[in-house]
Amino acid sequence: MKNYKTGILFWFLTLSVLFISCSVERDLAKEFVRNNKDIPVLLQITDKIILTNEKLKKIKGFDTLSVEKQDSLWFSNTLYLDSINDSNILNLIFNSMETKLKAYGFHVYSIDNIADFDTLSKRKYSFNIAQVEISEDEFVYRDEEVFFTNLIYYQDNKLNVININGWFEFSDISERKEKVFYNTATISDLLNGSFVMDQHDYSVSYKYNITPIKVDEIYLLASKSAQKYAGLFHDYLINQYIKENLPHNYSDSKYFSLDPNTGFIYNNENERFTIIEPE
């Protein structure tokens, strides 16, 4: 009985420490949101998009083919990339991110008023959407179902996928700190399939419908991605503030996000920029 009580006490103390730690971090996050309004950020974006057809990379010897043959294979294997307008996509990404940053309370500057930004003496940041890649690919999705506990029926379906990949140059100008971030967003054909067993002879058939990606959905994905970038950027600043202001005896902190609609601050370990370390 003594060991049992000791175990309960140990877990109670452990949970108490974790709760207090999380509370301290959350309080710092709230402090950042409360005290850091109108943060200056210089927002910039590249003037071109990299269009990549990953399907062509799977063609053996593609790089050794003549330009004419490569162009022919591009034309026959490309469903979406030729329909994308670079300028429209880039303007959409920039405008969507600018709007979302303002919603988070940032004072957004652009290259048009960079002179005003340069004169600011307060802590300020630069966020450059340095590289945007839109890639087209296809993958095999296996749909399967189990009948009678051990009979597995499956059907392989080839689906198209579009990825929007972004690389971002971040600079904390006042502190002279620079980072490179990466993030990706994906959309694919929508598969609606099901296996149907005939109740008379127990044969199984597969019925399916594939709804292909629409070009308009790629533009929508770009807009939503840009809004996501703004949130990830704001979250990064929150967590940097937490890291800078935690007591020295806090060796490992959690990662927090802000819901801009409700103001709720919550633990979020998965949604963040990938930081690209220099080689």
What digits encode the pLDDT tens for the residues 103-161? 999 999 999 999 999 999 999 999 999 999 999 999 999 999 999 888 999 999 999 99
pTM of the model: 0.85
User: Which residue ranges form the domains of the chain, and what is each CATH number?
Assistant: 2-275 (3.30.160.150)
**pLDDT tens digits, one per residue of 38-94:** 999 999 999 999 999 999 999 999 999 999 999 999 999 999 999 999 999 999 999
**pLDDT tens digits, one per residue of 150-194:** 899 999 999 999 999 999 999 999 888 899 999 999 999 999 999
pLDDT of residue 217: 98
Confidence class for position 20, pLDDT limits 50, 70, 90: very low
Averaged pLDDT score across all residues of the chain: 90
Convert the chain into a string of H (helix), E (strand) and C (coil): CHHHHHHHHHHHHHHHHHHHHHHHHHHHHHHHHHHCCCEEEEEEECCCEEEEEHHHHCCCCHHHCCHHHHHHHHHHHCCCHHHCCHHHHHHHHHHHHHHHHHHCCEEEECHHHHHHHHCCCCCCEEEEEEEEEEEEEEEEEEEEEEECCCEEEEEEEEEEEEEEEEEEEEEECCCCEEEEEEEEEEEECEEEEEEEECCCCCCEEEEEEEECCCHHHHHHHHHHHHHHHHHHHHHHHHHHHHHHHCCCCCCCCCCEEECCCCCCEEECCCCCCEECCCC
**pLDDT tens digits, one per residue of 222-257:** 999 999 999 999 999 999 999 888 887 776 678 899
